[in-house]
């Protein structure tokens, strides 16, 4: 019997997996610099948390959740997104009783039973950031800027920012009624007609071409915003412009979750085909109340690690190997292996990334391994070198080779790598 990864999933394998780590670090670094603390929540939660928080009318809840019964009889669900679990953790641990806003970031795996295709997986990775407990357009703008900074640090040039406002509980009812009147006149299947009555915004998020073709003249939420929402949205836009960001207004952008209010945004990359979104988020001022907590206006985003790697590949930013090994050690003989092993350990303790040749390879095979490692320098130790209490340091870029006393090689290498 042979086993394979389940349909809709894949394994991250070296060297490509190294880029997934680089992407996670790059996307989270701006948030960490802005005072966001790390939070880690369970990979599964009570099913009711997602039914109430994400929304019972969403495709995520009705079609895509991995739900199972625990041995104790509780209905549990593998998390399909990160925000609801973070809000649950904040409420459970009473963080809302301290200084606000609460700034948190996280990274992990998420699960949705979707049609498997390029860029859309049933097990995927995201980096997320949430700011909870403050209704401030500057906070919305801050998070958008942090995400843009993360993409830029990876060298991505073709990530586009789309923004919209979904209004608030004051102005949303009038828009909801206008949208429902429009949608009821369309030729839609019964399941979609039921969605019109539960949450008509979800119909706007329907990706089927035959549905989208009928939505061309649908009323726009931006035409129904109250004065407060218009002013809030204009302030967000003004702050983004002041920060030097380029964005496009997309009045049809609604995202796929029920909890969004006011600011909503998406990052798209045109090199990914149909699955062009690489990240997105928005404000969710009512989510805390939905899951049994106090009023806690909040905003956040989630950025896809998998799709960001695909975007980097589309722009030619992925090299064959990210080159994390700086030095490769080549021992020639048993005594050399013993001596160089302790040298490698010392270099690693001093912060140098070092690998070495294993398995008793000859010099030719060991040097090929050194070249494949992406290291800048090779350390070569043979019998004559041991007698001379020296080691050969070879620059793998220029081919230049120098004998360095064993007692000095750590300082010499650190100087060359500085």
Binding positions for L-histidine = 81-83, 112, 126, 130, 255, 259-260
Of 230, 264, 237, 232, nearest to 136 by C-alpha is: 232
Residue position matching structure tokens 């009570």: 46
List Cβ neighbours of 182 (8 Å cut-off, separation of 6 or more): 217, 218, 219
Per the omega criterion (within 30 degrees of 0), is the bond before 101 cis? yes
Distance of alpha carbon 418 from alpha carbon 407, whole angstroms:
19
Q: Which helix (H) or strand (E) holds 128?
A: strand 123-132
Q: Is 386 helix (H, G, I), strand (E, B) or coil?
A: helix
58 burial type by CB count under 10 A (0-12 exposed, 13-18 middle, 19+ buried): buried
Per the omega criterion (within 30 degrees of 0), is the bond before 13 cis? no
Query: From the CB of residue 393, how many other CB atoms can be counted at a distance below 10 Å?
Result: 19
Residue pair 145/263 in contact by the 8 Å Cβ criterion: no
Q: Residues 358, 364, 369, 375: what is their CA dihedral angle, to the nearest 10 degrees?
A: 110
Binding positions: 81-83, 112, 126, 130, 255, 259-260
Q: Residue 320: phi, psi to the nearest 5?
A: -60, -35
Sheet containing 37-38, strands listed edge to edge, beginning at the edge strand earlier in sequence: 37-38, 102-111, 123-132, 298-304, 277-283, 261-269, 159-165, 248-249
Distance of alpha carbon 125 from alpha carbon 109, whole angstroms:
5
Of 261, 237, 238, 259, nearest to 249 by C-alpha is: 237
Residue pair 250/272 in contact by the 8 Å Cβ criterion: no
> Apex CA 172: angle with CA 79 and CA 89, to 5°?
30
Q: Is 96 helix (H, G, I), strand (E, B) or coil?
A: helix
Distance of alpha carbon 300 from alpha carbon 36, whole angstroms:
11
């Amino acid at each position: 019997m042979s086993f394979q990864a389940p349909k809709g999933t894949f394994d991250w394998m070296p060297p490509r997996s190294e880029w997934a780590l680089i992407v996670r670090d790059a996307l989270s670094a701006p948030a960490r610099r802005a005072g966001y603390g790390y939070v880690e929540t369970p990979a599964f939660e009570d099913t009711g948390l997602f039914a109430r928080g994400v929304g019972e009318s969403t495709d995520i809840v009705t079609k895509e959740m991995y739900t199972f019964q625990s041995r104790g009889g509780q209905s549990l669900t593998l998390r399909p997104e990160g925000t609801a679990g973070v809000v649950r953790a904040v409420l459970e641990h009473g963080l809302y009783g301290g200084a606000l806003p609460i700034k948190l970031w996280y990274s992990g795996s998420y699960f949705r039973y979707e049609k498997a295709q390029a860029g859309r997986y049933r097990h995927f990775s995201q980096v997320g950031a949430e700011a909870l407990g403050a209704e401030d357009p500057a906070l919305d703008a801050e998070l958008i800027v942090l995400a843009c900074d993360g993409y830029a640090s990876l060298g991505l040039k073709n990530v586009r920012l789309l923004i919209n406002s979904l209004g608030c509980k004051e102005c949303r009812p009038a828009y909801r009624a206008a949208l429902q009147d429009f949608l009821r006149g369309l030729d839609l299947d019964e399941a979609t007609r039921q969605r019109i009555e539960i949450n008509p915004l979800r119909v706007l998020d329907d990706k089927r071409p035959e549905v989208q073709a009928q939505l061309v003249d649908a009323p726009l939420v931006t035409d129904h915003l109250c004065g407060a929402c218009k002013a809030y949205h204009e302030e967000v836009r003004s702050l983004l412009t002041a920060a030097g960001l380029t964005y496009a207004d997309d009045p049809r952008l609604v995202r796929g979750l029920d909890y969004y209010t006011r600011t909503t945004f998406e990052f798209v990359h045109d090199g990914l085909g149909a699955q062009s979104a690489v990240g997105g988020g928005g404000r969710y001022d009512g989510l805390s109340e939905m899951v049994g907590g106090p009023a806690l206006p909040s905003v956040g985003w989630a950025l896809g690690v998998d799709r960001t790697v695909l975007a980097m590949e589309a722009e030619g930013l992925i090299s064959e190997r990210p080159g994390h090994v700086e030095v490769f050690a080549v021992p020639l003989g048993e005594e050399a292996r013993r001596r160089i092993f302790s040298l490698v350990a010392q270099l690693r303790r001093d912060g140098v990334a070092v690998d070495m040749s294993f398995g008793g390879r000859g010099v030719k095979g060991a040097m090929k391994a050194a070249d494949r490692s992406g290291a800048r320098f090779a350390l070569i130790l043979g019998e004559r070198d041991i007698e001379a209490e020296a080691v050969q340091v070879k620059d793998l870029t220029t081919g230049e080779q120098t004998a360095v006393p064993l007692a000095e090689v750590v300082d010499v290498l650190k100087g060359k790598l500085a």
